[in-house]
Amino acid sequence: MSAEVTATLISASSALVVAGVTATAAIYASRIVIRLDHQVALRTAEQRMASYARLWQMTAVASPSRQAPISAVERQQLYDDINLSWYYEQGNGMVLTEPTRTLLLHALDNLVCPDDELFPASLVANVPTNPAEREQWRGELSQDQLSLLRTQMRCDLAIFGRVYAGALLPRDVSFLRACGVNPDREPWRASRMVGTHDDVGALGLSHLPDTRHQRHSAVPPRGSLVRRPSPNTSAGPRRGPSAAPKGCLVTL
């Protein structure tokens, strides 16, 4: 075997060894990156769970089952608490995903914005002219939109099951679509059933008062459909599919 052939073989072998080492190093490097990404994702998910649980607690003041709609003063306080403290000062805005972030920001704006700046713009035409009715309507609107937000939060946390059991009103559908949410997909697609918008125990908050079986006595917003209690009901209407006629929508 000539010296030239030997040199060529040695060179080729060296090249193969280098290629093998390089490929092995690349595989290990990619595995390390995957592990790091997984660890970061895990830590982010843990932080998101804690952040969402705190936000869930803060929105308890706007529960859809409270006795009276949330007032203008309460809406302003809730806006300040979430927007200034939770979102910015505590840094929780960083863990929001889309479209949850969009839902939150628009729901926050609708807490305090003038009537003619409501989002989506289609809501403006439905604002009552009577001041008392308008105050009630704005409160119920915010309660509904914050309920939609809580449902989207549960989707972010992959909390499976019946995450939304409330009847979607036309204004709810418009709000979801305007925020980039497809109401024709789960969990919204099955939301034509009668029930509550959310579950206070979903994020481990079962220690909070569960008032889902109560309804405020205020007059429902104009254009909404409500379930009437039967004449022989002494303790108020029961919730659940069997408590209302088929096809009846309930604003909760």
Cβ–Cβ contacts within 10 Å for residue 70, how many? 25
pLDDT, tens digit (0-9, with 9 covering 90-100), for 185-197: 877 877 644 334 4
CA neighbor of 183 nearest in space, from 151, 160, 161: 151
pLDDT, tens digit (0-9, with 9 covering 90-100), for 45-101: 788 899 999 999 999 999 988 889 999 999 999 999 999 999 999 999 999 999 999
What's the pTM value of the predicted model, to 2 decimals? 0.63
Question: What's the DSSP call for residue 131?
Answer: H
CA neighbor of 163 nearest in space, from 148, 153, 151, 147: 151
pLDDT, tens digit (0-9, with 9 covering 90-100), for 139-155: 999 999 999 999 999 88
d(CA 110, CA 208): 25
